[in-house]
Copies of this chain bind each other. A is one copy, B any other.
Amino acid sequence: MASKPITGLALNIPTLDALPDDIQRYFKKCEEKLGMIPNVLKAYSHNPAQLEVFSRFYNELMFGESELSPLEREMIAVVVSSENKCFYCLVAHGAAVREYSQDPSLGEHLVMNYRSADLSKRHKAMLDYASLLTRTPSMVTPAESDTLRSVGFSDQGIWDICNLVGFYNMTNRVALAVDMQPNSEYHAQHR
């Protein structure tokens, strides 16, 4: 398939050397650690102030202190993105689930329909909640948290789940609306 531009909008994304120094450093670090600069960061780089607050928020939710493991955070990312059918986030976070779980088939299940995966009670409850809060937010009240508590999540953990579900409902909408294209490197990773 012919390669598409990073987004379907005309955003005047600057070249690497025209970016502020701290963003240049951040992008170099991405290349060293991930082997690429994720296209979502390049897309935001047309507005360096937004890029900074977006990436800091992202890093805090995905890598900050929490009782949720890194794999669990990625599992939520994929299930929310599957409900919303976000191509960018499914490709990028599907690869991360394959990596963290060392189970390529789990990544496929969560992309396609987490209900068919062989999940622990904890993960089933967590992903049912993520799916519900994505699809029908107006119907969710704290009563729906009781199942999460019964499988061992603390109220701080539930708060973190809500924030992750919220975050990917945000990025899914941005990525879908502008037709953001994921880096091609993701496709073959951790198969």
A residues touching B (Cβ–Cβ < 8 Å)?
1-2, 4, 7-12, 46-47, 49-50, 53-54, 56-57, 59-61, 64-65, 82, 84-88, 90-91, 103-106, 108-109, 111-113, 115-118, 133-134, 137-142, 144-145, 155-156, 158-159, 162-163, 165-167, 169-174, 176-179, 181, 184, 187-188, 191
B49 touches A64 (CB 8 A): yes
17 A-B residue pairings within 8 Å (CB atoms): A1-B118, A4-B118, A9-B159, A47-B65, A49-B60, A56-B57, A57-B57, A85-B112, A104-B188, A113-B176, A133-B176, A141-B176, A141-B179, A159-B178, A162-B177, A166-B171, A188-B191
Q: Identify the closest chain B residue to A191 (Cβ).
A: B191
State whether B103 touches A87 (Cβ < 8 A).
no
Q: Out of B103, B113, B139, B156, which one reaches A1, CB within 8 Å?
A: B103
Tell me the smallest distance from the CB of A165 to a CB of chain B, in Å: 6
CB distance from A2 to the nearest CB of B (A): 5
Contact A111 B112 (CB under 8 A): yes
Complex Cα gap A154–B158 (Å): 39
